[in-house]
């Protein structure tokens, strides 16, 4: 079974956002594999362990994403593809176009990705890739079983559980609860250094100077920090007095109660 995993490198969720020149500053920032993509990598490796085959990890971004790809290799992926994002607009339609072009060079039985990325949070790229490759998709899965040419999945839909059968090849995005991602082992880290690591540029994927602007259908015009929240009022008195006071404050201040 050939499995592709889409992964994105994101800021560590503990990072505070500091703006510099209209962008989130990367100075001293710790980067991680997007947490939802970790579930996708783990699931791909488990499927390979159960059914045999090959896992290809793919990421689009600047040179630092090599670190995220090496994490995937150390966890057990077999090969990595890095798409250099220079020349590819920061827009989900362009990203999906590039990724689909890279995946289109091989054939896969399954494509796995995260439910969304914890940085830009657009929840678009994986589904767009499925559409570009003509694959059916199911997002936000919490269970995946493959039997021959069919995958049976459970999907989390705002707390409801959907059981869905899909003919492979297909694309799935991982939700929390799918599995418990493993840590890369020391032998895994040593082996990762010898695994195939392929680099692709925008030009390799058909993004020429003329087509680049056309590929971006949205553009960011500004980034700002949300208004800071200040500590408010601490209530005093007995628990009973505090409860009564709070009810009064909420009823007077907020019309919904």
Partner 1 sequence: MSKTYLIVTEQRDGKLRRVSLEALRAALDCAEAGDEIHAALLGEGLDGLAAELAGYPLAQVHAIEGEELRHYNPEAYIGALAPLLEALRPAGLFLGHTALGRDLAPALAARLSAGQISDVTAIERDGGERDGGERDGGERDDGERDDGERHGGQIVFVRPLYAGKAIERKVFTAFPQVVTVRANNLPAAEPRRDGGTAIVAKRAAAPVADLRTVVREVVRRTAGKIDLTEARIVIAGGRGVKSAEGFRPLEELAGLLGGAVGASRGACDAGYCDYGLQIGQTGKVVTPEIYIACGISGAIQHLAGMSGSRVIVAINKDPEAPIFSIADFGIVGDLFEVVPLLTQAFRQALA
User: Is position 54 an interface residue for partner 1 (rule: CB under 8 A)?
Assistant: no
Closer of 136 and 188 to partner 1 (Cβ) = 136
User: Is position 223 an interface residue for partner 1 (rule: CB under 8 A)?
Assistant: yes
| Least distance from partner 1 to the Cβ atom of residue 146, Å | 14
| Least distance from partner 1 to the Cβ atom of residue 219, Å | 6
User: Is position 212 an interface residue for partner 1 (rule: CB under 8 A)?
Assistant: no
Residues 133, 194: contact at Cβ < 8 Å? Answer: no
> How far, in Å, CA of 40 to CA of 6, rounded?
8
Radius of gyration of the chain measured on its C-alpha atoms: 22
C-alpha distances in Å from residue 89, one per residue of 6, 86, 96, 216, 224:
18, 8, 11, 6, 20
Q: CB under 8 A: which stretch of 44-52, 78-86, 194-202, 244-252 binds partner 1?
A: 244-252
Tokens representing residue 203 in the block: 């030009």
User: Is position 250 an interface residue for partner 1 (rule: CB under 8 A)?
Assistant: yes
60 forms beta bridges with: 83
The residue behind tokens 């890739």 is 129
How many residues bind partner 1 (CB under 8 A)? The answer is 83
Q: CB under 8 A: which stretch of 14-22, 45-53, 74-82, 195-203 binds partner 1?
A: 14-22
User: Which positions ≥6 away from 16 have C-beta within 8 Å?
Assistant: none
Closest CA to 154 of 123, 124, 175: 175
Applying CB under 8 A, among 91, 182, 188, 201 the residue interacting with partner 1 is: 91
Closest CA to 6 of 136, 89, 123, 176: 123
Write each residue from 158 to 197 as x if it is in contact with partner 1 (CB under 8 A), else as -, in one continuous string: xxxxxxxxxx--x----xxx--------------------
User: Is position 25 an interface residue for partner 1 (rule: CB under 8 A)?
Assistant: no
User: Is position 50 an interface residue for partner 1 (rule: CB under 8 A)?
Assistant: no
User: Is position 253 an interface residue for partner 1 (rule: CB under 8 A)?
Assistant: yes
Residues 191, 80: contact at Cβ < 8 Å? Answer: no
| Least distance from partner 1 to the Cβ atom of residue 60, Å | 16
| Least distance from partner 1 to the Cβ atom of residue 68, Å | 16
User: Is position 217 an interface residue for partner 1 (rule: CB under 8 A)?
Assistant: yes
């Amino acid at each position: 079974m050939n499995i592709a995993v889409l992964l994105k490198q994101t800021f560590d969720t503990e990072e505070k956002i500091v703006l510099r020149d209209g962008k989130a500053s990367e100075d001293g920032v710790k980067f991680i594999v997007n947490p939802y993509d970790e579930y996708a990598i783990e699931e791909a490796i488990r499927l390979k362990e159960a059914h045999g085959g090959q896992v290809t990890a793919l990421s689009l971004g600047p040179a630092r994403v090599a670190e995220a790809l090496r994490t995937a290799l150390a966890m057990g992926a077999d090969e990595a593809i890095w798409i250099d994002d220079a020349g590819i607009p920061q827009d989900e339609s362009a990203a999906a176009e590039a990724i689909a072009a890279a995946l289109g060079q091989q054939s896969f039985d399954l494509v796995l990705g995260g439910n969304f990325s914890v940085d830009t949070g657009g929840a678009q790229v994986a589904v767009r890739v499925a559409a570009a490759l003509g694959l059916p998709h199911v997002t936000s899965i919490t269970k995946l079983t493959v039997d021959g040419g069919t995958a049976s999945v459970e999907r989390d839909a705002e707390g409801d559980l959907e059981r869905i059968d899909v003919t492979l090849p297909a694309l799935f995005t991982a939700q929390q609860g799918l599995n418990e991602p493993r840590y890369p082992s020391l032998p895994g880290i040593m082996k990762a250094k010898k695994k195939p690591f392929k680099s692709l540029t925008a030009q390799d994927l058909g993004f020429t100077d003329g087509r680049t602007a056309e590929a971006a259908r949205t553009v960011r015009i500004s980034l700002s920090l949300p208004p800071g929240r200040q500590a408010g009022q601490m209530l005093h008195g007995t628990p009973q007095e505090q409860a009564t006071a709070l009810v009064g404050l909420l009823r007077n201040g907020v019309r919904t109660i």
